[in-house]
Amino acid sequence: MDPVMVLVLSLSCLLLLSLWRRSPRSGKLPPGPTPLPILGNILQIDAKNISKSLSNISLPHAPPVASKGVSKLILNFY
Q: How far apart are CA 73 and CA 76, in angstroms?
A: 10
pTM score: 0.44
What is the per-residue pLDDT across 50-70, written as a single tens digit (0 to 9) for each? 878 877 777 777 667 777 776
What is the per-residue pLDDT across 9-54, written as a single tens digit (0 to 9) for each? 998 888 887 776 665 555 676 677 777 777 777 788 888 988 788 7
3-state secondary structure of 57: helix
Residues in contact with 64: Cβ distance below 8 Å, sequence separation at least 6, in sequence order? 30, 58, 75, 76, 77
**Residues 70 and 38: beta-carbon distance below 8 Å:** yes
